[in-house]
Amino acid sequence: MPNSNPQAILIANSKIRPMADVLAGMFNMLKSAQIEYVAEGWGALFPADNEILVDGSAEDGRTPITNNDESHSRPCSGHSVGSRGQR
């Protein structure tokens, strides 16, 4: 039997669907980053060391990051991700 509970519909439309849309957008953004990472060779730009990346963080208050931070944050850690997120 279909759920026509007005409170359930309100929660689904105002909370659950918007969260699902955000997650779907994040998945698409990460999938695109994974493709760019491979195609443009981003990994070679960050040697595996603890040297701080001079990216303006000292001036704007962000936490400094190292080459190691970048080399370990590659999109999807190099794992293959299917169209629905399965490995």
Please write the tens of the pLDDT for every residue from 33-71: 999 999 999 989 999 899 999 999 999 999 999 999 887
Mean pLDDT of 4-15: 98
Cα 38 to Cα 59, 60, 77, 86: the distances in Å are 31, 30, 11, 19
State the pTM of this model: 0.63
Q: Which residue has the higher pLDDT, 76 or 67?
A: 67
Query: Among residues 87, 64, 66, which one has the least CA distance to residue 76?
Result: 87
Q: How many domains does the chain have?
A: 1
**14: in domain:** yes
Instruction: Return the pLDDT at 80.
Output: 46
Mean pLDDT of 12-28: 98
Residue 25: domain span = 6-78
**17: in domain:** yes
Instruction: Return the pLDDT at 72.
Output: 74
**85: in domain:** no
